[in-house]
Structure 1
Amino acid sequence: MPADAPPHPLIAQARDQLNRGQVEAALAAARKRLAADGDDVDALEILVLVCQQRGEVLEAKRLLERILILAPDLDWPRDDLAILLAGLGRKAEAEAVVRDALARNPANPQACALLGTLLTERRDLPGGEAAFKQALDLVGDHPPTQVALAANLIEQGRLEAAEPLLARADRLAPGDGLTLAHWSRLREALGDLAASRTLLDRAAAAGFDVTLRRAVQLGREQRHAEALAVIETVPGRKGGDALLESGRLKERLGRPAEAFADFVEGKARLAARDGLTYDGAAVAREFETLGRLVETLGPPPLAARREGAQPVFVFGFPRSGTTMVEQVLTSHSAIAAGGELPFVNEMVTALESRFGGLQALWTPGVAEALRDLYLERAAAFGLRGPGKPLFTDKMPLSEVWTPVIRAAFPEARQVRMVRHPLDTAVSMLSHNLTHGDSCGYRITDIAHHMQAVHALTGRYARTLGETALTLRYEDLVADQETWTRRLLAHLDLAFEPACLRFHENRRYAPTPSYAQVSEPLNDRSIGRWRLYHQALEPQARALAKVIAELGYTD
């Protein structure tokens, strides 16, 4: 049938019935058409739409795949298939479908926007940014895509670039709750709490649920009892994020037993919602393989330095102080902020997909290829331009891949951030973090992963030597200037007083620590675990060796 030919009367009838909510009648009309022509793509589309309405995702997937066989040049089946796969949690498959769609038609704006969403979700933020911008170049003003791009830029810490997009989207589609909620979050991050409240009020007036955001903002204002009262107004069964916020507020109000219960239940609900589990046995097997490989083969061949800006690797568990140290470092005139960069994981993926596995690291030339991959990605992020000779890479737990990092960047400086393991564990339990193979959703899994990482990095140090500067959070708090000077000396940098005033750094750190690092250094969170000492007794026993070897006495 020619592309501009009118649809079959049965198809026109079915579409009209679907528009009027007559699903069964539309389905009957489409099936009647398929009885006469089993390859009618329009009729199959009706079936897809019905399946989507009914939540029959696997049947919808089968139908979309059939349509693509019949009409491989159509855009919409690939777009719908990618959305369906993403909804099933099969993000890698969804991305492959989207990339295929764009290879066939680079001017497909929905595929560009979908790619932007998928890349943003897997923390390739500049890649997501570029895809969203391509979609907007194709269609012009489109508020949902402008808001998605703004959210991506907020995650990059680029608040000034994000705000005009939100303002534009609000002018084009006034009163959209999602737009206003993102804008409120942005103004809060900038410390403009009055504007943030006004935007939340507008979002609420538009029918958008702002309960959790309002509670978070009241907490920022130290109005903890009011914030908890807002959380308690959530009807029905609270979501995991609301329970975590409730727990943090109860802790500040002196109710630690209730707080811990909220943390445990909130994390359980988030894990169930997102289908996240921690496989401790698999982690143990992987770490044993890594440790044995390094012990057997010794140090891998080292890549030569390539000129241009170089990474500074900040190691450590989430919530161990890595964000604070990055703020200290990036207050120096020689260091740009990279944040949680995905490049180390991409080097590891390249080892598996291009070179046949981690053992290829000991093949001459592989380290150089990984170095170049990393630096090319850094250039795409804007981190390799003229100006600052260093940039930070603080992806939590990247120390697991120390042999890869050391091979690709033998001259790069490394900083290992350490905090009392029980303080780190409590902080991880009270925030929604997926790092570390999703270990952060149960306190027992957090402790297991801490033991495993500590043992693995110890094996690395015995074989490869230790080149990282280990910096304890508590030592930095106790003697900020001495340790700041040591930190900068480790990087061969002259001391700059601005590094002591890191809280004045205007950079927004897009992590749960964003509020803390906007304050002067303080000791409020040191010893937090003692509030929960009874609940943490099993973890204290399990981590006793780690605690002692890190230099803590209790």
Structure 2
Amino acid sequence: MPVHFEQVLECFQLGQWENTERLARQLLADTPEFVPALQVLAMTLAQQGRASEARDLLQRATQLQPQSAEAWINLGNACLECADLEGADAAFGHARTLGAGDEVAYLLGHGLTLLGNGNYVDAQVLLKAAFEREPDAPDVRLAHAQCLSELERFDDLAQCLQGLDADALDQQQQRALAWLLAQAGRDEAALLLYRRLLETAPDDELRIQLALLLERLNRVEDAADALAAVAHQSTTPMRALCAARVLRRQGEASAAVAELSAALALPMTSAMQAQLQFELAKCHDQQAQVDAAMQALARAHSAAAEAFGQRSPAQASAPVLGWLQQRLHKPMPAYWQTPVADALPDDPVFLVGFPRSGTTLLERMLDGHRQLDVLDERPALEVMIEQLRSRQDWQDDDLDASLERLAPAQVQQARQKYWQEVGRHLQPRGRLVDKYPLTMTRLPYVARMFPRADWLLLLRHPCDCVLSCHMQAFGINGGALAFASLESTARTYAAVMQWWDEQRQRAPARVHVLRYEDLVQDVPAQLEALMVFLSLTVEPEQLASHHASAARSRRINTPSYAQVVKPVNAAAVGRWERYRAHFSQAALDVLAPWVTRYGYRLD
């Protein structure tokens, strides 16, 4: 009795894979060039985990219908299932030449292929286009989110995940979502989803991811418990990274080094290698092994630069600190200091300083005051600036004129954009403290938009700042390239501080300056002076900020998350002196004027 294609389809739709395969093969025995049957058989085999056989069938389908974009897209997806990225790229390329360039199936498939190849910038273009066409499709949204995560665009990632219902996803999608929620800083949602997944389908990868999140939330003992359930033979770079972080924080640096050394012999991406080497440097530093720490840092920065070049070739070749070219060339007009009359909140307090100067410690103290609310390293100001710079008449190289051309209504629109972005993260009850260290390099924009803003500038010994920045994994981004060596970091420090000094002459600002060393030596006195500057009084909670930080359920959104849960101490003061032999004379010469200017010493 002959088999009809309708019978094959009915079995496929019922999920009867064995019957579908049997009937499809019978049909193809009589009509071997019937492409729909080939495609259904391929999908049936894929459902049974036989991706390679499915790919062979779909390859045959493209030979029978070489002008069918759909056939090439199906082949591309089959190649993806087989981890054949080269084949997938070629198949999707054929589909594009046949006019499929605007179809979501093509955009998603080719975007995932580029993502797998590490070509994140081009992948983002395709996956963003797919997301704009089908924002409610979970597979599309998750793919776009994954790309944003790889590009470390975490604020955009959080927006992309907004409203995605975990209950509507299959288990594999839920696993991907849990990791992405953690990357986006949506910690409570991530924790809940990890717990649910581990109840229904526990495995080591999920336990490791959960442990990484718990450590990031300063729940070190909980992280150790999650990691203890991982099979000892599960030696992966991710497990080693997690174990090393937990062990180091438990004071077991030697054991952490052993974990990392074993993992570094495994194959891994340059981005992962950078993370392991940065962690290894921290462990050596904890053991006072200065030379070993510096060797690990050299390897870490080399791997980070390679990863950044792979992820974003155009940005990797762009000038480091290029945004410092945006500056005022003449004194700002007096009318900029006129308060803006609108219904928006009071102008913010901007907490700034060169990275690793202690701004996170001070932020935690300020957040303990009932009349202050801290925005913790969120790019609200940058979003506002990007809106301004998108104007057709905007000229970065003539910032004076560009800011002066703004009409009152445009200033108000920019201010509204800023507060709109702030509102995405918190609803201030008191005055906002916007903590973003390098906002100090945005002084002209703040002067124009927030004439009643106050500034808190935190200083630290320039050599300690430089060493700490060089030792820190800031992520795979262009700014981190400036910290690749002690000498390059010293030049970066000088460039930023020189810019600040110069621009303050052209845009006077109300600034309270304090030094990290003075703050940790006498918190009450330094905090008292600062609060007087803000026309507030010190509250008891501010003097025990480490307790609030340790109890906090939200993550502390900076690399200093592990330090600020400890009582204030001076352990980090003068750390650079142990590393003095690794500071070249050129680096010390660059820093010397700033050391003197801020009242420090090199001898």
The Cα offsets for residues 462-515 of structure 1, whole Å up to 9 and x where unpaired, read as: 111132222211111122111111222222222112111110113341322111
Task: State yes or no: 1:373 paired with 2:401.
Answer: no
Alignment of 1:114-513 (within 5 A): 114-119=143-148, 125=154, 128-136=157-165, 139-140=168-169, 142=171, 144-145=173-174, 148-149=177-178, 152=181, 156=185, 159-177=187-205, 179-189=206-216, 192-204=219-231, 207=234, 209=236, 210-236=239-265, 239-275=273-309, 282-283=319-320, 286-287=323-324, 289-291=325-327, 293-295=328-330, 301=336, 303-304=340-341, 306-308=343-345, 311-355=348-392, 356-358=394-396, 359=399, 360-363=402-405, 364-365=407-408, 366-381=410-425, 383-384=426-427, 388-434=429-475, 437-438=479-480, 439-505=482-548, 506-507=551-552, 508-513=555-560
Identify if the C-alpha distance between structure 1 residues 26 and 147 changes in structure 2 by more than 3 Å, giving closer, same or farther.
Answer: closer
TM-score, length of structure 1 as denominator length: 0.86
Identify if the C-alpha distance between structure 1 residues 412 and 116 changes in structure 2 by more than 3 Å, giving closer, same or farther.
Answer: farther
Alignment of 1:63-142 (within 5 A): 63=94, 65-66=96-97, 69-70=99-100, 72=102, 74-86=103-115, 94-119=123-148, 125=154, 128-136=157-165, 139-140=168-169, 142=171
**Structure 2: how far apart are the matches of 1:414 and 1:474?**
19
**Structure 2: how far apart are the matches of 1:50 and 1:279?**
31
CA deviation after TM superposition for structure 1 residue 423, in Å = 0.9
Q: Is the 8 A contact 1:300 1:362 kept in 2?
A: no
TM-score, length of structure 2 as denominator length: 0.80
Report the counterpart of residue 563 of structure 2 in structure 1.
Answer: 516
Q: Is the 8 A contact 1:547 1:553 kept in 2?
A: yes
CA deviation after TM superposition for structure 1 residue 206, in Å = 8.4
Which letter maps to 1:535? Answer: H
**Structure 2: how far apart are the matches of 1:285 and 1:47?**
40
**Structure 2: how far apart are the matches of 1:101 and 1:280?**
29
Report the counterpart of residue 592 of structure 2 in structure 1.
Answer: 544
**Structure 1: how far apart are the matches of 2:55 and 2:143?**
31
**Structure 1: how far apart are the matches of 2:171 and 2:212?**
21
Task: State yes or no: 1:54 paired with 2:84.
Answer: yes
> Once structures 1 and 2 are overlaid, which stretch shifts more, 506-515 or 215-224?
506-515
Stretches of structure 2 that go unaligned for 5 or more consecutive residues are 1-8, 11-33
Q: Is the 8 A contact 2:332 2:507 kept in 1?
A: no
Identity of aligned residues (%): 22
* 3-state SS of 2:230 partner: helix
Which letter maps to 1:335? Answer: L
Report the counterpart of residue 25 of structure 2 in structure 1.
Answer: none
* 3-state SS of 1:336 partner: strand
Q: Is the 8 A contact 1:421 1:547 kept in 2?
A: yes
Identify if the C-alpha distance between structure 1 residues 223 and 26 changes in structure 2 by more than 3 Å, giving closer, same or farther.
Answer: same
Which letter maps to 2:556? Answer: A
Q: Is the 8 A contact 1:34 1:43 kept in 2?
A: no
For the aligned residues, what is the CA RMSD?
3.4
How many residue pairs end up in the alignment? 541
The equivalent position to 2:60 in structure 1, one of 29, 47, 60, is 29
Q: Is the 8 A contact 1:280 1:449 kept in 2?
A: no
**Structure 2: how far apart are the matches of 1:314 and 1:60?**
52
Q: Is the 8 A contact 1:10 1:30 kept in 2?
A: yes
The Cα offsets for residues 89-113 of structure 1, whole Å up to 9 and x where unpaired, read as: 6656545544433443332112222
* 3-state SS of 2:349 partner: strand
**Structure 2: how far apart are the matches of 1:357 and 1:24?**
52
* 3-state SS of 1:494 partner: coil
Stretches of structure 1 that go unaligned for 5 or more consecutive residues are none
The Cα offsets for residues 10-39 of structure 1, whole Å up to 9 and x where unpaired, read as: 44566678735258844651441234xx13
* 3-state SS of 2:83 partner: helix
Report the counterpart of residue 14 of structure 2 in structure 1.
Answer: none
Identify if the C-alpha distance between structure 1 residues 114 and 334 changes in structure 2 by more than 3 Å, giving closer, same or farther.
Answer: farther
Q: Is the 8 A contact 2:374 2:432 kept in 1?
A: yes
**Structure 1: how far apart are the matches of 2:55 and 2:141?**
34
**Structure 1: how far apart are the matches of 2:116 and 2:51?**
26
Identify if the C-alpha distance between structure 1 residues 216 and 472 changes in structure 2 by more than 3 Å, giving closer, same or farther.
Answer: same
* 3-state SS of 2:283 partner: helix
CA deviation after TM superposition for structure 1 residue 130, in Å = 4.6
Identify if the C-alpha distance between structure 1 residues 449 and 97 changes in structure 2 by more than 3 Å, giving closer, same or farther.
Answer: same
> Once structures 1 and 2 are overlaid, which stretch shifts more, 336-345 or 237-246?
237-246
**Structure 2: how far apart are the matches of 1:474 and 1:280?**
37
* 3-state SS of 2:437 partner: coil
CA deviation after TM superposition for structure 1 residue 232, in Å = 2.6
Q: Is the 8 A contact 1:116 1:132 kept in 2?
A: yes
**Structure 1: how far apart are the matches of 2:500 and 2:244?**
40
* 3-state SS of 1:525 partner: coil
* 3-state SS of 1:345 partner: helix
Identify if the C-alpha distance between structure 1 residues 220 and 151 changes in structure 2 by more than 3 Å, giving closer, same or farther.
Answer: farther
Identify if the C-alpha distance between structure 1 residues 255 and 479 changes in structure 2 by more than 3 Å, giving closer, same or farther.
Answer: same
Q: Is the 8 A contact 1:132 1:145 kept in 2?
A: no
Which letter maps to 2:258? Answer: A
CA deviation after TM superposition for structure 1 residue 449, in Å = 1.3
Q: Is the 8 A contact 2:58 2:71 kept in 1?
A: no
Q: After TM superposition, what 4+ stretches of structure 1 lie above 6 angstroms from structure 2?
A: 276-281
CA deviation after TM superposition for structure 1 residue 81, in Å = 3.4
Q: Is the 8 A contact 1:181 1:203 kept in 2?
A: yes
**Structure 1: how far apart are the matches of 2:510 and 2:152?**
28
> Once structures 1 and 2 are overlaid, which stretch shifts more, 16-25 or 514-523?
16-25
The Cα offsets for residues 162-211 of structure 1, whole Å up to 9 and x where unpaired, read as: 4222211222331251x322322343355544432221122345836311
Identify if the C-alpha distance between structure 1 residues 95 and 231 changes in structure 2 by more than 3 Å, giving closer, same or farther.
Answer: closer
> Once structures 1 and 2 are overlaid, which stretch shifts more, 424-433 or 515-524?
424-433
**Structure 1: how far apart are the matches of 2:318 and 2:52?**
50
> Once structures 1 and 2 are overlaid, which stretch shifts more, 90-99 or 312-321?
90-99
**Structure 1: how far apart are the matches of 2:596 and 2:91?**
56
CA deviation after TM superposition for structure 1 residue 553, in Å = 2.1
Identify if the C-alpha distance between structure 1 residues 125 and 255 changes in structure 2 by more than 3 Å, giving closer, same or farther.
Answer: closer
Q: Determine which structure has more spread, i.e. the larger CA radius of gyration.
A: 2
The Cα offsets for residues 101-157 of structure 1, whole Å up to 9 and x where unpaired, read as: 34433321122223444555666656533532433268256464466456545764x
